[in-house]
Amino acid sequence: MADELDIEGMIARFRDRARAVRSRPLPPVGGPERQHFLAQAQVDFQDFAMIGDATGELVDGVLVLRIDLRPGSGEAAPESERR
């Protein structure tokens, strides 16, 4: 499995998922259901974006993702999103 793992490809797919969440249309719901949908979209975006900003490597068969959470470290868009 580790020999076949494309870490950069996996991280790129998470970036794509984060963008998809941002462009997801709102369903025709109102009230509490709408608020729940918006809150879930924010959590989904945060999760996907964090992994999409990660750097990864295999260390002794363990996938290690590094995510810089220091203030100001993520203000610039990843290079793949600058195009």
75 or 47: which carries more pLDDT confidence? 47
Find the radius of gyration of the CA atoms of the chain: 16
pTM, 2 dp: 0.73
Instruction: Quote the CA–CA distance of 51 and 46 in Å, as a whole number.
Output: 9
Q: 54 is written with which tokens? A: 């990660």
More confident residue, 3 or 24: 24
pLDDT computed for residue 27 by the predictor:
83
Indicate if the pLDDT at residue 73 is higher than 90.
no
Strand partners, 63: 58
Q: 82 Cβ partners below 8 Å, 6+ apart? A: none
Check pLDDT > 70 for residue 76: no
C-alpha to C-alpha distance for 50 and 55, rounded to whole angstroms: 10
